């Protein structure tokens, strides 16, 4: 079994990837039969599994000198990934994140952690539904003298973005000229549910029917 499908099975087992037959409203306003919540990777063992999936998603990550996590969910992701990459590649990898509001006292500014100026920076985020937070991260990194070299996300929903033709990931890559890699995708979820989701046949058929209908309506 691929690393991506192993990650999907694990995410399903802890409820971070949830199948919702009745539907769940997303930031985009769409009603989705599945939902990914990175906030449920909230223990040492679970975030270890998440970061292992991130690190295995792209080979060009070795070029990163700083991992940037958009506040707030990206903060623990960037911290843990910098640790994992430092161990994997035997090199020093920094981490940084932004404050939602500029600090007016003490060290000040909007960036916490490793300086971005002159550094190759990898963005880590959970899900790219609209690409807004990752796009803002690109602007922050460039404004602080860094070079964003890519973005890694936990789950690619593989559904159309704002223009209705490209996915949110594809729109992001087109708009910013930066590659995006995902630990797992909707295709991986469908394959896992279809083949070894652990559901009785009737439940499996009902869930798959809703997911496939959603993909037909919004997928790319």
Q: What is the domain extent for residue 45?
A: 3-218
Q: What number of CA atoms fall less than 13 Å from residue 216's CA on the CB side?
A: 6
- Among 88, 105, 119, 216, the active-site one is 105
For the entire predicted model, the pTM comes to 0.89
Interhelix angle for 44-55 vs 74-89, to 10°? 60
Structure tokens at 30: 């769409």
Q: Tens place of pLDDT for every residue, the chain, 220 residues?
A: 689 999 999 999 999 999 998 999 988 889 999 999 999 999 999 999 999 999 988 777 889 999 999 988 899 999 999 999 988 888 899 999 998 765 555 455 789 999 999 999 999 999 887 777 888 999 999 999 999 999 999 999 999 887 778 998 999 999 999 999 999 999 999 999 888 756 656 777 788 999 999 999 998 8
Examine the residue annotation and report whether 103 is marked as an active-site residue of this protein.
yes
State the residue for tokens 């070795």: 62
The domain that contains 41 carries what CATH number? 3.40.50.2020
CB proximity list for 102: less than 8 A, separation 6 or greater: 108, 109, 110
Three-class DSSP category at 202: helix
Choose the catalytic residue: 25, 27, 103, 162.
Answer: 103
Structure tokens at 143: 């404004």
Domain count along the chain: 1
Please confirm, yes or no, whether 25 is among the known catalytic residues.
no
């Amino acid at each position: 079994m691929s690393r991506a499908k192993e990650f999907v099975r694990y995410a399903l087992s802890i409820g971070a990837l949830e199948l919702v037959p009745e539907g769940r409203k997303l930031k985009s306003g769409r009603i989705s039969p599945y939902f990914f919540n990175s906030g449920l990777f909230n223990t040492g063992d679970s975030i270890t599994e998440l970061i292992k999936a991130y690190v295995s998603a792209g080979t060009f990550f070795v070029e990163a000198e700083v991992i940037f996590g958009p506040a707030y969910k990206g903060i623990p992701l960037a911290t843990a990934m910098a640790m994992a990459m430092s161990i994997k590649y035997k090199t020093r990898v920094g981490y940084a994140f932004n404050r939602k509001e500029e600090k007016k006292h003490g060290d000040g500014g909007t960036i916490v952690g490793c300086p971005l100026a002159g550094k190759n920076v990898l963005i880590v985020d959970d899900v790219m539904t609209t690409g807004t937070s990752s796009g803002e991260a690109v602007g922050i990194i460039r404004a602080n003298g860094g070079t964003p070299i890519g973005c890694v996300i936990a789950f690619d929903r593989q559904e159309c973005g704002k223009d209705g033709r490209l996915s949110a990931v594809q729109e992001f890559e087109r708009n910013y000229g930066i590659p995006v890699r995902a630990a797992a995708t909707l295709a991986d979820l469908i394959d896992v549910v279809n083949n070894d989701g652990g559901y009785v046949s009737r439940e499996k058929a009902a869930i798959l029917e809703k997911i496939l209908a959603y993909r037909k309506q919004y997928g790319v």
